[in-house]
Chain A
Amino acid sequence: MGRYVVRRLLQMVPVFVGSTLLIFLMVNVMGDPVAGLCGERACDPATAAQLKREFGLDRPVWQQYLTYMGHLFTGDFGTAFNGQKVTELMGTAFPVTIRLTIVAILFEIVIGITLGVATGLRRGRPIDTTVLLLTLVVISVPTFVTGLLLQLLLGVRWAWIKPSVSPDAAFGELIVPGLVLASVSLAYVTRLTRTSIAENKRADYVRTAIAKGLPRRRVITRHLLRNSLIPVVTFIGTDIGALMGGAIVTERIFNIHGVGYQLYQGILRQNTQTVVGFVTVLVLVFLVANLLVDLLYAVLDPRIRYA
């Protein structure tokens, strides 16, 4: 187990370097960020040159990358163009997005798995078909349409919720945005659980459990669910990173000042430091979540031993 974790951690190093380099190059392709700083007029060349020098933009890309990574290891994520430390931006943005992600994941777990079990046990019945069709509809409508629609109906027409989220972004305010963010994944979790349950329902160990007279509830929770949840857990685990980085659309609609918002602003203003910094953290979250999911396997399926 220990050796396995070490091997995985070592594998993370090239992935981390590669993805940060990739995003660094991508942001660099966007061109000169200084040009956008002076409003509807050209920056005077002297100030522009000086700004570039200060942000290190006058050096070749590979040097910029090395310098950036060097600073990174001392905990310095650089400074945004509005003079704020990127770490400070992270300090305000990440808690909000983490709360939003937690709400979304809870939706996935509670609603997704429940619906998945309900339909998986009743394959082909009306409830199964209905839920299946519903999940397909949810998947096929783009998130921003769902979001705008819910905002208009719940927030404006019926006034059940505030149409936007305050800077504090308490859990209560994040329920609808969380649902919107989770919607597509929710549908996947339902379908995944359904397939998995339906498949395992006929497995020998389930028949054995039923045959030896165990109560139905116990068979479902202890035997069937535990084995069926492996792919679901994997999906949810890897979805964490996707949810945090993919909240750009949701955060924009509901005016949430989280990671997606900072990234969007950062890209619009070509703020290399902000974008690269946030993506670096997201990459880390993604890698760690993947590792944890793989380790969770061992817990769910005792047959698996990591060497």
Chain B
Amino acid sequence: MPEQQPYEAGRAIAGTGMGGAMDLAASEATTLERTPGGPEGTGPAGKPRSLWSDAWRDLRRDPVFLVSALVILFLVFISVRPSAIASGNPLTCDLARAQDGSAPGHPFGYDGQGCDVYTRTVYGARTSVTVGVLATLGVSVFGSVLGGLAGYFGGLWDAVLSRITDIFFAIPVVLGGLVLLSVVTSNTVWPVIGFMVLLGWPQISRIARGSVITAKQNDYVQAARALGASDPRILLRHIAPNAVAPVIVVATIALGTYIALEATLSYLGVGLKPPSVSWGIDISAASPYIRNAPHALLWPSGALAVTVLAFIMLGDAVRDALDPKLR
């Protein structure tokens, strides 16, 4: 083990990042960096066996994976076609029914504005899932590219990038959100996503960097280099497939925390804005009414918790499947 290895591992976990979920995932994922095998590996039967096909075989039999995948598929479905299960309009509200309990056709009751909680919870999925998915995508792409390049090329580029990630880590997330989002006027989801990417990328960048450094030292990479392969080819064909596993694990878990973060930002008054319909908006609007209309708080919170849970469990399952040590 190289001398600086513990230090690197330590840095990978360090951070005040998105609620810490990614920190955990990062450290849990560090073991993956030493995962042997790759696309070039072949099984005893002569049939190509990769880390991925192994993992997939495991996942198909994992009940945790199956349940969480089903939940996520359902969420994606109602995000695309909310009208399939909710016939109402989430923006039609009747103040006369404010805080009323469930009624025929309105199983979840009404919120403080007299909007139908069921309809809003269903429609809220789209925004929340959009925020989660897009923020994760942005963070993953941006973070892996920067971190991967830094890990591969090393030297000055690496030193500068490491310091920049440190800088972003040092700023508490909720605080950054309060400052940056309080000046936003747009009522789209983009500022919130942009903010999450801005403060979230260093986390992925560190993990990508670490796993690229590990992958770089593998024999097959050295061999490819000896054969005269170009940097882009080595990076894309040999390193990326092997370094991407930890990133996927962390990203899946982070997705859940981004959805929860959106709710916290709304609670502090800087989250998404109407006419967006999101769980965060509804949860924060219902939180003062916790005594009188707990149902208005319960349903969107429950939906949010289930969603976050599904993504974290998915990430867990993927990690277990990708980590041969725990088999």
Contact = CB atoms under 8 A, between A and B. Distances in A.
B183 interface: yes
B283 A142 contact: yes
A192 B28 contact: yes
Contact of B172 (A18, A22, A188, A242): A242
Given A234-B10, A267-B179, A145 B297 contact: yes
Given A15-B163, A27-B179, A140 B309 contact: yes
A148 B290 contact: yes
A283 B166 CA distance: 10
Q: Is the interface of A mostly helix, strand, loop or mixed?
A: helix
Report the contact-size class of chain A (Cβ under 8 Å from the partner). Answer: 35 or more
A199 B309 contact: no
Nearest to A156: B291
Given A15-B167, A30-B183, A304 B6 contact: yes
B171 A246 contact: no
A249 B264 contact: yes
Contacts, number: 183
Given A145-B283, A192-B27, A140 B163 contact: no
B309 A19 contact: no
Q: Is the interface of B mostly helix, strand, loop or mixed?
A: helix
Contact of A246 (B10, B174, B305): B174
A72 to B, nearest CB: 16
B268 interface: yes
Contact of A235 (B13, B172, B308): B13
A192 B24 contact: yes
Nearest to B27: A231
Given A15-B166, A142-B260, A275-B179, A293 B308 contact: no
A184 interface: yes
Contacts of A152: 290-291
Interface string B296-327: 01000100111111001100000000000110
B20 A185 contact: yes
30 contacts: A15-B166, A15-B167, A18-B163, A18-B164, A18-B167, A19-B166, A19-B170, A22-B167, A139-B308, A140-B308, A142-B283, A144-B263, A145-B287, A145-B301, A148-B287, A188-B24, A192-B24, A195-B28, A235-B27, A238-B15, A245-B16, A246-B175, A248-B175, A249-B174, A249-B264, A264-B178, A275-B179, A293-B10, A294-B7, A303-B1
